[in-house]
Amino acid sequence: MSIALLSLGSNVDPETHLRVAIAALRARFDDVVVSDVYRFPAVGYTGPDFLNAAATVRTDLSPEALNDWLHALEDAHGRDRSGPRYSDRTLDIDIVLFDDDTSRSGAGSPGSGPGQALRIPRDELRHAFVLRPAAEIAPDWRHPANGTPLARLWESHADRDTVFEQVEGFDAGAAV
C-alpha cells in the first residue's frame, strides 16, 4: 500500500463539490485524512475564490491509475478541461506527493489532464493554496526533491503570515 497526498479545490459551488469529493475518497480508499478547508484567491486569472483542502489516502493503485481515477471523479462532477489552464473549476484534485516518488516528471507537460505526463511532486506545492492545507495534515512529509518537511516549507513560505479564511461549518474531517 502507498500513501498519496492530494490537493482538492473548487470555485464553482465549492462546498457541494468538495463534500462529494471527500465522500468519494472515503468510499474508495482506506485511512483518508482531510485538512481544514480554506478560502484562497484564484491563481493565474481573475475569478471567484477557491475553497481548497488537502487529503491523504492509502491506496493500492499506482500513481497513474490513481490519477485516472481522480480524473474520472472530476469529470463525473462537471470538470471542463476544454478551457484555459487557469479557469473556474467544479472540482480539481491533484496528486501532490506519492510516497517518496520523484520519478514521474513530464517535461513541458502540465500533467493535469488525460494523456499528459504525471508530475510528482506537483509544481503547485509551491503555492499557498496547496502547501498550507498539506502542511496541516502532513507536516513531517518531506519534499522528495530536497528533503525539506512540509511544515518547514510552509514556515518559510512568502504567504506564511497571510491569514486565509478557514471555512466555518465545513467539517472536512467528519464523515460525509
Would 171 be classed as within a structural domain?
no
pLDDT value at residue 101: 67
pTM for the model stands at 0.88
Of the given ranges (7-16, 63-72, 109-118), which has the lowest mean pLDDT?
109-118
Would 165 be classed as within a structural domain?
no
Instruction: Give the pLDDT mean for 93-105.
Output: 79
Of the given ranges (42-46, 100-104, 149-153, 155-159), which has the lowest mean pLDDT?
100-104
CB atoms within 10 A of CB 97: 25
pLDDT value at residue 176: 34
Whether residue 72 is predicted with pLDDT greater than 70 in this model: the reply is yes
- The pLDDT-based confidence of 86 (bands split at 50, 70, 90) is confident
CATH of the domain at 140: 3.30.70.560
Whether residue 104 is predicted with pLDDT greater than 60 in this model: the reply is no
| Count of structural domains within the chain | 1
Would 162 be classed as within a structural domain?
no
Would 134 be classed as within a structural domain?
yes
d(CA 147, CA 106): 21
Domain ranges, residue 69: 2-155
What are the b/e assignments for 15-31, b being 16+ CB within 10 Å?
eebbbbbbebbbeebee
